[in-house]
Structure 1
Amino acid sequence: MDNMEHLGAISILPATIAIILAFITRNTVFSLAVACFVGVLAMGSGLLGFPTLLKNSLGTTSFSWILLLELFIGVVIAFFQRTGAIRNFTLWVEKKALTRVKVQLVGWFMGMFVFFSDYFSPLFVGSTIRGLTDKFRVSREKLAYIADSTSAPVSVLVPITGWAVFIAGLLIGIGPIENAEQAMSVFVHSIPFNTYALLAVAMVGLVILKIVPDFGPMRAAEKRAQEQGKVLRDGADPLMGEELTDIKPHESAGTGLLLNFFLPVFIVIGVAVGTFIGMGSAKTMEAFLCAAVVSGIVMRFQGIPFNDIMKTATSGMKGVMPAIIILAFSYALNQLSKDMGTAKFIIEATQSWLTPALLPMLTFLIAAIIAFSTGTSWGTFAIMMPLAAPLAFSFSANEITPLIYATVAAVAGGGVFGDHCSPLSDTSILASTGAASDHIDHIKTQIPYALVVALLSAMIYLMIGLSL
């Protein structure tokens, strides 16, 4: 199918089925599989269309990258568990006389600190402080919310991330933007206009400090955790295998917090940030591979048997398989949405509404709908930026004005909204994985907060548009 075509309203059927079934059945894998199967039948591909879809969508470099990234992250977390690094970190932090609120603030600040990767951030935050939040009876849903809201929303606000480079790259050649330097300048100037990302990050702090009280399903989850001590609801299905969560520390090993926790963390951050500065692209997967190898070598020198190290690494890989399976079907559904022209249909159905005053708000809403339906922010950026930015320039006499900054920010913020709270989103899946939370419980408790922020953002964009 040509990129400019779509199948009409039927093109949104698979994503709609996946989202509705996920909330009804609480089983993400089943929901995604059914959505993909119905989608290929709707396209007329027949029964063989389903395995063909999986083969074509998963046999790609992008899926291989996230598959390896997940596996190496699983190995590093397993090594953290086996060496007692997370336990030792928990004991070290406990000496700081923390309270329930302060523990959550630690997670909030950690998420903002690890800004360079929306993949690493939720996994690192969730797995690192999960022991502490469990001790202070913080629900896994709240931990997943903290980890998720400091991943993509933070990454899109920092000019030295892959997000910034990608968005800036999409702007080159549009209007008077002729090179990467000009494009990055536009991105930097758009940051103050990215109201959704800014408010989403701020909302976490306000909720933790109870300036904004818990509401909706999150309030019930927190009440359950505090009054009954149940960080997970009865019958919940944590998105992390027992092979990983049940790993016990190797008590006879001479392990320490510096070599077994901080060294791997510094390696990941150093390699990712260093490759971004030196090569223009953060090599996150390679960073985790390096950290896993170094951690394994350190463990051997500390007296842990080689077979034990390999068994631990294998357990780590098994532990992340639930997330990998969901990611696989999410990739397949995303490919199906592309083949059916889902995003194109949504754009055509709404583009007649666009006026200069409404452009920022409608751009944000359209990008949010596309991202929520497809579960991909970067795909939304790639679709919306070439459409919204030229429109903005046509309304601004081909000059770089605040309308341009607001429109670019609206695309970025709308994309992050979908990536932030869609059950199909990879970063939301990773947040559930890091927090060992039931994935649908995480989505149900987070969506009300995200919707409040999205509504405020839409109102702000409307005011911005009317004032320009």
Structure 2
Amino acid sequence: MSPDQHLGILSILPAALAIVLAFVTRNTVFSLAVACFVGVLTLGQGLMGFPTLLKETLGTTSFSWILLLELFIGTVIAFFQRTGAIQNFTLWVERRALTRVRVQLIAWVMGMFVFFSDYFSPLFVGSTMRGLTDRYRVSREKLAYIADSTSAPVSVLVPITGWAVFISGLLIGMGPIDNAAQAMGVFLRAIPFNLYAWISVLTVGLVILGVIPLFGPMRRAERRAKEEGKVLRDGAEPLVGEELTEIPAYPGARTSLFLNFFAPVLIVIGVAVGTFIVLNSAKTMEAFLAAAVFLGVVMRLQGIPFDDIMKTAISGMKGVMPAIIILALAYSLNQLSKDMGTANYIVEASRNWLTPSLLPAITFLIAALVAFSTGSSWGTFAIVMPLAVPLAFNFSADTLTPLVYATVAAVAGGGVFGDHCSPLSDTSVLASTGAASDHIDHIKTQIPFALAVAVLSFFVYLMMGATF
């Protein structure tokens, strides 16, 4: 099948099946596996198509990168727990006269602070704040929502992230954009038009402060947590192994909050941001490897036996395996969607009736549908940006106008919506992992808020389009 072809409405069958089954069965692994199996049968690849899909998809550099990143993050979090760093951080924060609202606001600010990686942010916020939020009876679903909605939405607004480089790179060669500097300039001018990202981050703060009232499944989850003290519903399956949530601090170890917590965090931030500035590519995986090695050496110097350090590292890796399995199947489904032309079908179905006034709103809607169906924001950017932005330039006579900036922002915002709402998304999986929340419970409680923000963004784009 050529890159611009699709299987018609059958091309959306696997993604739709995965999403429906995930909500019905509450088992993401089963849902993704069934969707992949049905997809390969639809493509006519037979029974052996499923293992072949896994082999070809998972034997790639991109999946190896996320696999190693997850393993190193799991190791760092396990080291945090074995040294008592998270407990010490919790005690340090508690001395600041906290309330239930203030604890959530700290998580919100932390999510915005760790802007350089949408992979690290939800894991860091969830794992470091979980003890505090549990103590103040904040539901795990609420913590996952805070972590999720301050990761990708913030990353897409900051010009010194991998997201910015990727999006601006896609713009080179479109209209009058001839080089990377001009493309980054367009990205910067598009930031104010990225309505979904701005409103999404702001909404989290307003929800925490009670300005926006809780509703739907989130309201029930918070009522359960406050009134019954249950941060998880009965029967929930947290998306993290017990190996990572039940690691006790090493008895008698003389640990330091700075060396065992703040220094590794600074290493991660320093390496990621530093490599971005020097190499134009944030080496996030290498940053976590460096932090893990640093922590291992510090732990040994603090008297923790080498065998115990290695056992802790293995426990950390085991703890992130539930997330890795889901990510593996999600990557496979994403590849299957590409093979079946899922995005091509969605775009083709709506491309012929676009007008300048409708372009930003419809572009946002298409990007949101593609990202939600595939669970991939970057894949959505790569597919929708080359289709929508040239249309904007065509309407604006190949000049840089607010229509172009709004269209670029609409693609970015739509991609983020799908990325942090789809049960197939890696960012959503990592938010559930960091908060140790049931994954489908996280998705069900977050979607009403994200959908409300998306609807508001869509109508604002419609009103904005009337001025173009």
Q: TM-score range by the shorter chain?
A: over 0.9
1:455 aligns with 2:432: no
> Structure 1, residues 370-426: CA drift from partner, whole Å, max 9, x if none?
000000000000001110000000000111000000000000000000001000000
Structure 1 residues 276-332: Cα deviation after superposition (integer angstroms, max 9, x where no partner): 000000000000000000100000000000000000000000000000000000000
Cα distance in 2 between the residues matched to 1:246 and 1:280: 38
- What letter corresponds to residue 325 of structure 2 in structure 1? I
Amino acid aligned to 2:173: G
The equivalent of 1:44 in structure 2 is 44
Give the structure 2 partner of residue 17 of structure 1. Answer: 17
Q: Where does residue 185 of structure 1 map in the other structure? A: 185
The normalised TM-score by structure 1 is: 1.00
* 1:62-105 deviation per Cα after TM superposition (whole angstroms, max 9, x unaligned): 00000000000000000000000000000000000000000000
Q: Which residue of 2 aligns with 1:347?
A: 347
Distance 1:153 1:353 in 2: 29
| Code of the aligned partner of 1:153 | P
Q: Deviations over 1:13-69 (max 9, x none)?
A: 000000000000000000000000000001000000000000000000000000000
Specify the SS of the correspondent of 1:353.
coil
Paired position in structure 1 for 2:388: 388
Corresponding residue number in structure 2 for 1:93: 93
Return 200-209 or 349-358, whichever deviates more.
349-358
d(CA) in 1 for partners of 2:220, 2:413: 29
Q: Deviations over 1:230-257 (max 9, x none)?
A: 0000000000000110000012111110
Distance of 1:129 and 1:167 partners within structure 2: 31
Distance in 2 between residues matched to 1:271 and 1:329, nearest whole Å: 30
Residue 297 in structure 1 maps to residue 301 in structure 2? no
Partners of 1:297 and 1:232 lie apart in 2 by 36
Counterpart of 1:157 in structure 2 is 157
In structure 2, distance between residues paired with 1:420 and 1:90 = 27
In 2, Cα distance between equivalents of 1:8 and 1:292:
47
Q: For the residues of structure 1 that align with 2:145 and 2:218, how far apart are their CA atoms?
A: 9
Distance 2:182 2:459 in 1: 29
Counterpart CA distance in 2 for 1:244 and 1:167 is 35
What is the TM-score with the length of structure 2 in the denominator?
1.00
How far residue 353 of structure 1 moved from its aligned partner, in angstroms, is 2.5
AA partner of residue 26 (structure 1): R
1:361 aligns with 2:324: no
Q: How many angstroms apart in 2 are the aligned matches of 1:332 and 1:399?
A: 39
Alignment of 1:139-218 (within 5 A): 139-218=139-218
Instruction: Supply the distance in 2 between the matched residues of 1:83 and 1:267 (Cα, whole angstroms).
Output: 17
Aligned pairs for 1:271-282 within 5 A: 271-282=271-282
Structure 1 residue aligned with 2:138: 138
Higher mean displacement: 77-86 or 249-258: 249-258
Match of 2:318 in 1: 318
Q: What SS does the aligned partner of 1:467 have?
A: coil
Task: For residue 282 of structure 1, give the secondary structure of its aligned residue in structure 2.
Answer: coil
- Measured against aligned partners, the alpha-carbon deviations of 1:173-194 in whole angstroms (never above 9, x if no partner) come to 0000011111111100000000
Query: 1:57: which partner in 2?
Result: 57
Structure 2: which 5+ runs fail to align? none
Report SS of the residue matched to 2:466. helix
Match of 1:401 in 2: 401
Letter in 1 for 2:297: I
- Partner of residue 285, structure 1: 285
Paired with 1:4 and 1:362, the residues of 2 have a C-alpha distance of: 20
Is residue 235 of structure 2 the alignment partner of residue 229 of structure 1? Answer: no
Cα distance between partner residues in 2 of 1:430 and 1:390: 34
Matched to 1:398, the amino acid is D
CA distance in 2 between partners of 1:73 and 1:286 (Å): 11
Q: Which runs of 5+ in 1 are unaligned?
A: none
The question of 1:425 aligning with 2:456 is answered no
Q: Secondary structure at 2:352's aligned position in 1? A: helix
In structure 2, what is the Cα distance between the partners aligned to 1:242 and 1:82? 14
Inter-partner Cα distance in structure 2 for 1:188 and 1:366: 22
The within-5 A match list for 1:113-132 is 113-132=113-132
Query: How big is each residue's C-alpha offset from its partner over 1:409-452, in whole Å with a ceiling of 9 and x where there is no partner?
Result: 00000000000100000000000000000000000000000000
CA–CA distance in structure 1, aligned partners of residues 346 and 96 of structure 2: 51
How many angstroms apart in 2 are the aligned matches of 1:38 and 1:399? Answer: 45
1:106-146 deviation per Cα after TM superposition (whole angstroms, max 9, x unaligned): 00000000000000000000000100000000000000000
What do you get for the CA RMSD once the two structures are aligned?
A: 0.4
**Partner residue of 2:306?**
306
Over 3 Å off, 4+ runs: none
Count of residue pairs brought into register by the alignment: 468
Q: Whole-Å Cα distance in 2 between the matches of residues 293 and 316 of structure 1?
A: 14
